[in-house]
Amino acid sequence: MIVRMGLLQKRADIDQQEFRTHWRTGHGALAAKLPGLRRYHQNHIVDRTQRGITYARDGLDFDGFSELWFDDVPAMQAAFASDEVKALAADEDRFISDLKLISAVQHVVIPTPTDVPLIKRMTTLKRRPDVSAEKFQEEWFDVHSVLVKRLPQVKGYTQNLIFDRSHGRGKPATYNELPIDGIVELWFTDTDELNQGFGSDAGKTLMTHATEFIAAMSTFLVETHKVV
């Protein structure tokens, strides 16, 4: 399955509450009409603290992450070539100032339980300049995922490996223009558990390994709304 993610920044003339309300109650219903859409979640950013890590942020900032799942790339392309996109695009001008789009292969490492309340942290990753895209994937998928699973505080873990980038629809972006290689999704019971996990010996080993292939990362606590 393929996931299409929108990295949203709100308009400067509206506040966070207006942005969140319109995204949920207005825009969400329009996006839900896309043909071939399997799931659709909105992740509203509620905190930007670098909890548990000492990495510098990558300089990019957002007010929300959208996630739209499709069976494959052709299904995703067909959805965004449909007539439904016209209404979706027109509505974006009402509350979004900047929209970056990425497409990613999703790798679920620890399935997230659905029967308990959890907090979610999303993190953008930028690889070191001396690390190739292939080496980044190898270190992240084959080594780093194993180290994350050693943290008992982690209740869910998904890796999103980016393979396509654009400035809005129909405006391809180069890697230098949007230097994000992956987006992490981690779930914890609460922020205390998050801090305990990264402060543990296993957490310190995890972050030592991160320095071998990651140059920058930005963390965001999000409030997730499941639309579809």
Give the span between the Cα atoms of 226 and 67, in whole angstroms: 10
Nearest to 155, CA basis, from 123, 108, 217, 199: 108
Structure token digits, residue 10: 């709100």
Q: What is the mean pLDDT of residues 154-159?
A: 98
pLDDT at 158 over 90: yes
Full-prediction pTM beyond 0.85? yes
Selected from 1.10.3720.10, 3.30.70.100, 3.30.70.1520, 2.130.10.10, the CATH number assigned to the domain covering 2-226 reads 3.30.70.100
**pLDDT, tens digit, for every residue of 100-156?**
999 999 999 999 999 999 999 999 999 999 999 999 999 999 999 999 999 999 999
Say what the pLDDT of residue 217 is: 96
pLDDT at 169 over 90: no
- DSSP-derived 3-state class of residue 177: coil
Give the span between the Cα atoms of 190 and 175, in whole angstroms: 34
Q: Where are the domains of the chain?
A: 2-226
Where residue 168 falls among pLDDT bands split at 50, 70, 90?
A: confident
Angle 61-64-66 (CA atoms, 0-180°, nearest 5)?
125
Average pLDDT, the chain: 96
Where residue 41 falls among pLDDT bands split at 50, 70, 90?
A: very high
